Amino acid sequence: MDLPNTPFPARLLLVDDSPTNLRFLAHVLHNMGEIYFATRGEIALQIARDKHPDLILLDVEMPHMGGYEVCQRLKQDPLLAEAAVIFVTSHQSMEHEIQALEAGAVDYISKPLNPPIVRARVKTHLTLKQQSDKLRQLANRDGLTGVFNRRAFDELLSVEYRRHLRTQIPLGLVMLDVDYFKRYNDFYGHLQGDDCLRQIANTLVMASRRPAESVCRYGGEEFVVLLPHCDRAAVLQYGLWLREQIHQLALPHEASDMGIVTVSIGGSACIPDERTSTTTMIQQSDSALYDAKRQGRDRVCLYPLPE
């Protein structure tokens, strides 16, 4: 009953205050993915934040923080809410099963544990999780370029903003606009215009390789890139690098004074606090982008703008 081949192994988090139970579950599930262990609810939450498990087998009765509370906290955290939770408990009443499902679990396994049943349940929910992830990914992708769409960007920015608010590390954002793109479409036609946008998007993806850097099509010929752990200096360096990568494409643009396709870039960075918001970051980057266009395009500007 092994899982079908997948690009990355599933991540399983086993949570139980009994080391004996953890060893038993690990033996039963030994070839079904990467396995992590926690003997307390607080430790489980920390491991979940670090490892982002696909599936969590969670004991109901634990000291300090019980399984129901752990599950509720997982579901309240946008970074962890998609993890599937299976409760493991000695209780077999309908009331406990209802409580488990209301807490956000996808399933409920009663002790004593039957290994074939445990494996079958885990396999089923890992498969469902993989299918759900694929559907979510399709819904969050721009149909033309394949990068994240505006809806996905709003979610990603919200999650990263909260994460950086908690860690007090700077978060960067760049917005870019293809210069004179209407002229490009008028001169070369919309099919070639679509191909131009695809090449721009691919270049952005290739230039954004660090973990959690996210490229999104914001609308029309406008793109945004989310830059975790980046201050203003790093955002500027990235923007200049990106501008150079677009230059190296050397896409002809006879309707532009530059002769090739270029982009205008606006960026911002901040350490999130309670006085600012994701809307603030977008407005600041958009203001810097407008300044780049006002100064003649094919350049990078940062917020705050010079006096």
Q: Locate 284 and state its tokens.
A: 């600041």
Task: Look up 244 and say whether it is catalytic.
Answer: no
> Cα(281)–Cα(276) distance, rounded to whole angstroms?
8
Name the catalytic one among 160, 213, 221, 222.
221
> Cα(166)–Cα(305) distance, rounded to whole angstroms?
27
> Cα(186)–Cα(164) distance, rounded to whole angstroms?
42
> Cα(211)–Cα(125) distance, rounded to whole angstroms?
27
Question: Which residue numbers are catalytic?
Answer: 221
